[in-house]
Amino acid sequence: MAYDEELANRLREIVQDEPGVREMRMFGGLAFLVGGHMAVAASGKGGLMLRVDPSLADSLVDGVHVDRFEMHGRRMGGWLRVDPAGMAYVRTLPPKACPHDIAAAARRAGT
């Protein structure tokens, strides 16, 4: 399965103003690295991979759409996987401007 291009574009928009961000194809998906560390990815297996503070990971797992990321049967500390069904729900929500989006737009406009 190829990664979700729409999701990759949305991630690209979110991280584009972060210093030191670069894109890299990894594991059949498209990863976004910050300072050389993978931060988030549109997964080649569908859905999203997200790096979080390892001490918060368990509190973010919902057992339905968000779970700890596993590679070769081993849970990866500080990594979550959001399945495609969880992403589908988010797409049903109306768009809204958040403070980060407003600040990023202002920076791009030079204000």
Topology of the domain covering 5-109 = Aspartate Aminotransferase, domain 1 (3.90.1150)
Domains of the chain, residue spans = 5-109
Note the pLDDT tens digit of each residue in 29-46.
Answer: 999 998 888 899 999 888
Q: Is the pLDDT of residue 99 over 70?
A: no
3-state secondary structure of 104: helix
Instruction: Summarize the confidence of residues 62-75 as an average pLDDT.
Output: 84
- Please answer whether residues 32 and 21 qualify as being in contact, where contact means their C-beta atoms are separated by less than 8 angstroms: yes
Q: How many CA atoms lie within 13 A of 21 on its CB side?
A: 15
User: The pTM is what?
Assistant: 0.72
- Please answer whether residues 48 and 91 qualify as being in contact, where contact means their C-beta atoms are separated by less than 8 angstroms: no
